[in-house]
Every structure is written in C-alpha cells, then in structure tokens.
Amino acid sequence: MRNMEIIAHRGASAVCPENTMSAFERSLELGATGIETDVQMTSDGRLVLIHDETLSRTGGAEGWVKDTTYDQLRTRDAGSWFHADFTGERIPSLEELFKLVQGKGTLLNLELKNGIVSYKGMEEKVIEAIQDWNLEQQVVLSSFNHASLVRCKRLAPEIRTALLYMEKLYRPYDYAAKLEATGLHPYKLAITQEDVAAALAHGIVTYPFTVNDPAEMQAMIDMGVQGIITDVPDVLASLLTVHAR
Ligand code: G3P
Ligand code: CA
C-alpha cells in the first residue's frame, strides 16, 4: 500500500466533465494514484460509467440509463454540458476504463450505484468483468448499498470492498469487519480520528470523500487517513509533495 492514495473523484472532475475518459486520463496526469467512478447498467445489460440514474444532468438527453440501450447511450454527448471543448465526449463503458488502468497500478474504486435502481445481476457482471481483465488486486468495490457489497464478497472474496456512508456510525470498523470489508469511505464530516486509528488497527483503511479544500485535506491527513477522494487530485498531490520535503 502507498502512504496516501490520491483518488480522483469521477476522474479529474474539477477540470473535465465527470466520469469521462478525458477526466480519467487527466486525473493520472495530475498525480492521482487512484480513480473513483460510478457504475450503472443499460437496458441491455452493459456496465457504463455515469453518476446519475438518469441522463439529464450529464448524459446529453432525457431518460433513465436502465431504459436506454448501450448503442443509444453511446450517441449521447456527455461533455458539452461542462464546456464546449468537450463536445462529443461519450459515456464510457467499464471496459474502456479497465483498458486505461490495466498495467498501471492505479487503484480503481468502482462505486456500484444500485441503491435507487436495483440493477438485477449487476454484481455478477461487474465481478466477471474484473476477473476477465485480471484486475482483482487493483479494484475496490464500494457502495451505499451494503447488502450488495456482501453479495460481491460472497461471489469474489478476493476483491476488496469498502462501505460508503454519510453519517457517523458506531464502531464502523466492527461493522466493516462483520461485512468483511477492508475499507471505510465516509463522508468527510462522518469521520473521527479515533475511528480512523481503530479501523487501521483492524486492518481497515479509511478514504473520506469528497475533500477539495487544502485545509480540509490537511485535517484528514492529520487524522491519519490512508487516502482521500477528491475532485482536485493535483491539489492533494502538491500538498503531499510539500510534506515529503
Ligand atoms: O465514492 C465517494 C462518493 O463518490 C460518493 O458519493 O454521490 O459522489 O457518488 P457520490
Ligand atoms: Ca461516486
């Protein structure tokens, strides 16, 4: 494990349209050691990377991802909502991102977005894809849907899981251990220094989200977290460089 994972939230989403290949590629140029992204499923069962269940905010069309075929979805413009320079950007498939990170040692945090839409068979499909690409060691699966993470663990014990949560939990490391998760991904206001230390003592890492302000990043580093999920990986990378001097 590296000292501190710099995990780009939806790619370099401060400077590129979130969850696009441009955002993922740029995040690596900006010093990210990891990429976080959101997985949804099309009507014909393809895994695609988009945050919302619907296309209206970033997908250049109306409608739900679950009701759109992969071919239809690939005709949509996922870039121009952000800036005209990104016109023509596509909603990526999971495999496109696998191709980018394979062989690079980049940590890949796949968030399963199956809390609002219960995508049938999503866990099986994600795991099969990870195994096909031999990315078991590079991937961490996370979700707010903890039952889904338990299902993933049963299907593939070798793939790490991490619990996403918004509010403080009582002994989150105990809960994580019960679910055989090796990571906690709390909202930044839901962590305490004691929980971070206790989690680590149980072999569980803590990566808070989404931390963009350097002073807040510093506070998290001082709390002893092992990684930070951020829209601005370059800001965290420079903060860590200053530390290393
Ligand atoms: O994985 C951390 C964070 O991405 C969870 O919230 O809404 O940005 O997907 P959201
Ligand atoms: Ca996410």
Give pTM, 2 decimals. Answer: 0.97
Of the candidates 151, 156, 200, the residue with the CA atom closest to the CA atom of residue 177: 200
Which ligand gives the minimal distance to the CA of 230? Answer: 1
Q: What stretches in the chain show pLDDT beneath 70?
A: 1, 245
Which residue has a Cα nearest atom 7 of ligand 1?
51
The pLDDT of residue 134 is: 98
The answer to whether the CB of 173 is under 6 A from ligand 1 is: no
> What are 115-126's pLDDT values in tens digits?
999 999 999 999
The pLDDT of residue 158 is: 98
The pLDDT of residue 243 is: 73
The pLDDT of residue 244 is: 75
The answer to whether the CB of 5 is under 6 A from ligand 1 is: no
The pLDDT of residue 140 is: 98
Catalytic residues: 9, 51
The answer to whether the CB of 38 is under 6 A from ligand 1 is: yes
Q: What's the 74 CA to ligand 2 centre distance in angstroms?
A: 21
The pLDDT of residue 1 is: 61
The pLDDT of residue 207 is: 98
Which domains are seen in the chain, by residue range? Answer: 5-244 (3.20.20.190)
